[in-house]
Amino acid sequence: MFSTRSKTAAVLLCSAAIAVSASACSSSSSKPAAAATSSTSMAAASTGSAGSATSASAPFGSACSAVPATGAGSFTGMATDPVATAASHNPVLSTLVTAVQAAGLVDTLNSAQGITVFAPTNDAFAKIPADTLKAVLADKTKLTKILTYHVVSGKLSPDQLAGSHATLEGGTVNVTGSGQSFQVNGANVVCGNVQTANATVYIVDSVLMPTS
């Protein structure tokens, strides 16, 4: 038989052992939980960042659906060609291409390094009276002035777009808006952030006219 003193000591030792064991279990289980929480947060942040980057780099606008889904005139196809060549494959921009060819600007645009082009749609040119458009297309000097007014230096991303920008023609264009809604001198950007090998293209619904 154990003495009362021995029994008391044994009980105290067992209690201490249980407390230490519980503490160890609690400590070991809390650390992985914290690590898991941290890992989950980092993964979520990474996914969110990737999603934002993808969204920010993609073309946007109501007229983007008119761009071919595949082939040289698609967004993927246009990204591999310099801007004048890329536009020539896109049926949405066929009148613009005719104008660029008439002005002799194909090589100028294709050889430029890092530009932004505001590209009027066929419907934009159709807003101009037929006789006026025919006369402009026949006047190389005036046509060149109009077309170069649609070109600014630098490949402008959407978050750089708002503000005043000097054009190749020598004047300035004023861009207002944010996010995925922009106007250039009042013309709406109907398909923006289209990438070509040497340019960023913002397709607009009106032809921009220089003030001088």
Rounded to the nearest 10 degrees, what angle do helices 130-138 and 94-103 cross at? 30
Query: At 199, which helix (H) or strand (E)?
Result: strand 199-204
Nearest to 186 by CA among 138, 134, 136, 120: 120
CA separation (Å) from 53 to 46, 57, 135?
Answer: 11, 6, 44
pLDDT at 39 over 50: no
- How much of the chain exceeds pLDDT 70, in percent? 74
3-state secondary structure at position 177: strand
Alpha carbon distance 162, 67 (integer Å): 24
User: What's the whole-number mean pLDDT along residues 5-19?
Assistant: 41
**Residue count of the chain:** 212
pLDDT in tens, 98-150: 999 999 999 999 999 999 999 999 999 999 999 999 999 999 999 999 999 99
pLDDT at 22 over 90: no
3-state secondary structure at position 169: coil
CB 183 within 8 A of CB 165: no
| pLDDT at residue 11, as a whole number | 41
Model confidence at 57, pLDDT cuts 50, 70, 90, reads confident
How many angstroms from the chain centroid is the CA of residue 177?
15
CB 75 within 8 A of CB 195: yes
Lowest mean pLDDT among 31-45, 74-88, 176-190: 31-45
Predicted TM-score (pTM) above 0.85: no
pLDDT at 92 over 50: yes
Task: Give 200's strand partners.
Answer: 116, 195
Structure tokens at 120: 């009027």
Half-sphere exposure of 169 (CA within 13 A, CB side): 22
| pLDDT at residue 6, as a whole number | 43
| pLDDT at residue 128, as a whole number | 96
pLDDT at 34 over 70: no
Structure tokens at 93: 């921009």
132-151 burial, b if ≥16 CB within 10 A, otherwise e? ebeebbeeeeebbbbbbbbb
Mean predicted lDDT score pLDDT of the chain = 81
